[in-house]
Structure 1
């Protein structure tokens, strides 16, 4: 009875782990040790890999491949000097072993010596039987340097050497996308599809390019071809659903999203999109039902909570909107999108202290939008905290030094506090920036606007 390669590996691993449990040392050939070590490295079990390397070298002290695996672990642990020394010894033994150059390049890459790493990888090309892997490594080095053109070229060479290397295909498209070369990406993918007409990944990527170009009918055709190539390709159904939404074909979009739920465990994205489609169709009950399923499936998905909250805001049911916003904040109190909604909803409900807290929290979390500063200052003034309102607006000036709305509010607040000198400074600054916006002063600070001295200043800036 013959065993396939995977069965042999599993047998070796089982036998090896049995040996460890029994402390009964058994002999393994160097190839078996390599397979065992690769198994542990691929599964992130570094300590077990190191133990296997140690035992392997005790049985096969002259094995270059085992020592190269030792180098790989040393590089992973950032013990670069020791790895470099060991590589120098191995190079003296096997100067034409491409893995020596690859590992040395890995060390140089970690030291940000990407050009030197590429030189060594080019040397490795002269010795390797696996050009695809080396071209991929060269492509990654260029990516580290943000050289997307050269990265793209090398990933293309990788794909030429191995047309099943879909990670290289994804990297090529990543480079095209970064360079905003959508037309060129489509041209390249079509060329690839001429040789590989049933490559679902390539069709999927063609569809995404057409989607970015807003050519939705062409995108739809591409996703259909991806599905023909692989009827279980969940990503193609999801993208097709997005296109159908753009085309306002909501029932068809729902059908495609539902297929993904049948093919695999429900995803919060698909549930959310189904909810959005039902809302567009005017089926509020099913929309809310799917939004609720979305947050149940993934409570950390902010888009789910936002969808429910915004739905109730649109319906002007602010109490329910606030209920769901509070639930979201209890799960993730550091999400600025939740606090912005918390502030706006409380403002609508005339819960001004809570609204101010929401805007303050949004600012603390780095939301420096002009609207946040302005709304907070208006609420602080309403609450009788003019000092805090002024301080808030001076902070806003740091981000919006040339904004007239901020200046008019500061002018109004200073005049209300009888500080006419500062009031005049800010109203003149505001009028210089935008005369027409003095309506802000009229709407928010009517008494200040009607002061004779203020009207006289405004009249100075009036142009016929």
Structure 2
């Protein structure tokens, strides 16, 4: 790789400076060399070396505005805002048309959360700068801090008007469109941008993302195709393309595309899992399991992988195998509500009702408040003859589902079973009010209660309405 003259000079300056530090010999650098050296150290996070270079630079060039502006940048970095402000005022008196003074003043106001004032100063900087793209980008960031996404978007678009290669600005424009739920508008903007910059792989990739969100998968695939043709090592575009192929049910092509991502970089658990899912949809069960097992080996903490392999066996009614895998998953993370829910479902299918009850209880304990979890838990308690626990559980469930007929009918049945007829009538009436059509649930779950005269009378009264 050949370096440009500018890069070679910069590299030589750095070597010369670092050699000077080691030998303690004082060598001369012009002020711009010092600025480049300081900014290099700032960029790589070596703040102490940046400060040493600044000190030496100011000793050799005490009147350099450029170095003093870099000093301001370091002062702002250290939160010494008042000192930085005083120095900027001195520089302003000397060079009132230097755009960097306004940029640094804006930076100070931004640090103080005075973003309106920062925008004012950056707009002044626009009058004096040659680098419009950079200033528009800074204005865009200030609007982002103010959560003014429309103005931020306009600023980043202006930045791109000046510099079409500014990928950061392009990503920021798309971020604004995404945040504003303007996916169609984003697609229109990106199509216009691509008309002028047809070889921008980033724009094609972002266009594909918009079409994917809009569920226009053929269009998305076309965009990702272009992104990968322009840059055949664009990992993100290959990944998105593979996901799109899955949506189009082109599973074999999706597998090949995920394979490309694994060639470009180490296999990710996400890609391995998706390949497993594709093979399962192609009914290649051997390969599906192979990739699911690779996924849990690659990332044992990825719950989606354990769920995929467990669900694979549940779907095939191989509950012993499903139980084996969900137990392994629980052994790694015993506070995962998704694992406990499956543990309960599997044990229920195997008629291990006590284990099923424990699974539902743990699932709720760890945050699963889905209606079906509560209902399955209660039905399991009822099968175990735990009427009081079933009632307590249903009353807990009413906090999350206060107007749910399935809860009301179950409460009615349980209360009638315990001869608490007043409470039974109350909940049966609630159930009938909420959903009369499903009152046969009482017969299904509580046949002995269904035959009670009091229940027959209430049902007759409602059916007559």
Matched residues in 2 for 1:361 and 1:129: separation? 64
Shift of 1:295: 2.6
Structure 1 pair 448/164, CA: closer, same or farther in 2 (3 Å)? Answer: same
Shift of 1:49: 4.6
Matched residues in 2 for 1:51 and 1:345: separation? 66
Query: What CA deviation, in whole Å up to 9, does each residue of 1:132-190 have, x standing for no partner?
Result: 12212222232333333222211111111110011211222222233333333232222
1:461 is paired with a residue whose SS is: helix
Number of the residue aligned with 1:378 = 379
Number of the residue aligned with 2:397 = 396
Structure 1 pair 461/237, CA: closer, same or farther in 2 (3 Å)? Answer: same
Shift of 1:275: 1.5
Number of the residue aligned with 1:229 = 230
Structure 1 pair 456/188, CA: closer, same or farther in 2 (3 Å)? Answer: same
Shift of 1:52: 5.2
Matched residues in 2 for 1:85 and 1:389: separation? 72
Number of the residue aligned with 1:262 = 263
Stretch deviating more after TM superposition (389-398 or 36-45)? 36-45
Matched residues in 1 for 2:165 and 2:326: separation? 47
Number of the residue aligned with 1:140 = 141
Number of the residue aligned with 1:177 = 178
Shift of 1:255: 1.8
Number of the residue aligned with 1:287 = 288
Number of the residue aligned with 1:316 = 317
Matched residues in 1 for 2:57 and 2:379: separation? 73
Q: TM-score of the superposition, structure 1-length normalised?
A: 0.87
Matched residues in 1 for 2:293 and 2:36: separation? 47
Number of the residue aligned with 2:198 = 197
Structure 1 pair 371/92, CA: closer, same or farther in 2 (3 Å)? Answer: farther
Matched residues in 2 for 1:319 and 1:433: separation? 40
Stretch deviating more after TM superposition (48-57 or 422-431)? 48-57
Structure 1 pair 166/417, CA: closer, same or farther in 2 (3 Å)? Answer: same
Matched residues in 2 for 1:408 and 1:194: separation? 62
Number of the residue aligned with 2:152 = 151
Shift of 1:11: 4.7
Runs of 5+ in structure 1 lacking a partner? none
Number of the residue aligned with 1:444 = 445
2:463 is paired with a residue whose SS is: coil
1:432 aligns with 2:433: yes
Number of the residue aligned with 1:129 = 130
Matched residues in 2 for 1:82 and 1:362: separation? 57
Runs of 5+ in structure 2 lacking a partner? none
Q: TM-score of the superposition, structure 2-length normalised?
A: 0.86
Aligned residue pairs, count: 464
Number of the residue aligned with 2:460 = 459
Shift of 1:51: 5.7
1:408 is paired with a residue whose SS is: helix
Structure 1 pair 128/331, CA: closer, same or farther in 2 (3 Å)? Answer: farther
Shift of 1:440: 2.9
Stretch deviating more after TM superposition (121-130 or 97-106)? 97-106
Structure 1 pair 34/253, CA: closer, same or farther in 2 (3 Å)? Answer: same
Structure 1 pair 50/352, CA: closer, same or farther in 2 (3 Å)? Answer: farther
Number of the residue aligned with 2:163 = 162
1:126 is paired with a residue whose SS is: helix
